Structure formats: structure tokens, C-alpha cells
């Protein structure tokens, strides 16, 4: 249990060094991973059931070759595609926001350094170092946060496309 208190203390120390922007990055990161995990849950648990319902609905039709039937099939696939792509754009936007917040942290940290240089005549190295920390830590955190989501954002987008095409092919053969 002591390790937990030490870890929390280290996180608090890092957050204090990085400034307020680090809290914003942490919030965006939490939000991004919440949506990524929600999409993973949807693909693994919700969509397979929904896919079976769509296929059963299509197979229960008496006629599947007319123009109207093809439009109904197209509507079913389109609705499934909307469900598959839900929140993927938001996830990609949150991924893009992370490095921008890191850059905001860089700017605010450099302002702190310039403040120290202006009012302290540049002689206080410790105060300047705090500003440099405030400039570099959010940049690193923003990049790491974005990188943690890039793979999964791309994977989710690809998975939605593949599943949509697979459903269309499945309904074509029935």
C-alpha cells in the first residue's frame, strides 16, 4: 500500500511541475480512453448481436432482389455503419487536441521563464528551471497522450470500415 502513496505523490509532484495545462491534458486523455474503451466494448459485445439481428431481418424478407429490397438492404448497412463509426471522429479529435495542449503548456512555461528573466534579471536559475519544467513536461505529456491513442483511433476507423463491408457482403449472399 505504501507504493500507492508514493505513486500518488510522484504524480502530484509531476502535475505541480507541469502546471495547469497538465490537468487539461489528463482530462482529455481520460475522455479519449473512455471513448476508445466504449468503442472496443461496442465492437466486441454489442455489434455482434446487432449484426445477427440485421441478418435475421434481411433473411426474413420474402423478396430480396427488387430495387426496394436493395434500398432496404442499403439502409440496414448504413444504420450499422453509423453505429460502428459513432464517436470515432471525436476520438480522433481528442487525439489531435493532446499535442496542441502540450504546446500551450510550452508557451505558458516559456512565459514563466521570461517573467523570471524580466523581474529577476535572469540570476535566479532555480526559478528559471521551474519555468523550463513547466515548458517541457506538458509538451512531452501531450505527445505521449496523443501517441497512446493514435493506434487505437486508426484501428477503430479501419475496423468500422471492414465490418461495414463484411455486413454488406453477408447480406448480398443471403
Domain boundaries, the chain: 2-173
Q: pTM of the full predicted structure? A: 0.85
Whole-number Å distance between alpha carbons of 36 and 43? 11
Q: Per-residue pLDDT for 121 more than 70?
A: no
Q: Which residue has the higher pLDDT, 65 or 15?
A: 65
pLDDT digits (tens, 9 = 90+) for 25-45: 999 999 999 999 999 999 999
Whole-number Å distance between alpha carbons of 59 and 9? 59
What average pLDDT does range 57-83 have in this prediction?
A: 92
Q: Per-residue pLDDT for 57 more than 80?
A: yes
Q: Per-residue pLDDT for 143 more than 60?
A: yes
Q: Per-residue pLDDT for 72 more than 80?
A: yes
What average pLDDT does range 121-131 have in this prediction?
A: 68
Sign of the Cα torsion 100, 102, 104, 110 reads negative
Amino acid at each position: 500500500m505504501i507504493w500507492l502513496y508514493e505513486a500518488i505523490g510522484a504524480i502530484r509532484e509531476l502535475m505541480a511541475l507541469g502546471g495547469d495545462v497538465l490537468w487539461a491534458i489528463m482530462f482529455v486523455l481520460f475522455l479519449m480512453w473512455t471513448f476508445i474503451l466504449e468503442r472496443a466494448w461496442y465492437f466486441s459485445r454489442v455489434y455482434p448481436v446487432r449484426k445477427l439481428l440485421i441478418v435475421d431481418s434481411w433473411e426474413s424478407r420474402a423478396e430480396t432482389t427488387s430495387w426496394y429490397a436493395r434500398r432496404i438492404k442499403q439502409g440496414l448497412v448504413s444504420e450499422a455503419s453509423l453505429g460502428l463509426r459513432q464517436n470515432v471522429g471525436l476520438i480522433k479529435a481528442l487525439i489531435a487536441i493532446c499535442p496542441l495542449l502540450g504546446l500551450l503548456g510550452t508557451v505558458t512555461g516559456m512565459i514563466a521563464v521570461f517573467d523570471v528573466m524580466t523581474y529577476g534579471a535572469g540570476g535566479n536559475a532555480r526559478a528559471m528551471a521551474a519555468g523550463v519544467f513547466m515548458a517541457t513536461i506538458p509538451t512531452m505529456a501531450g505527445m505521449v497522450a496523443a501517441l497512446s491513442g493514435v493506434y487505437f483511433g486508426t484501428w477503430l476507423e479501419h475496423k468500422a470500415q471492414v465490418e461495414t463491408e463484411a455486413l454488406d457482403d453477408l447480406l448480398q449472399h443471403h
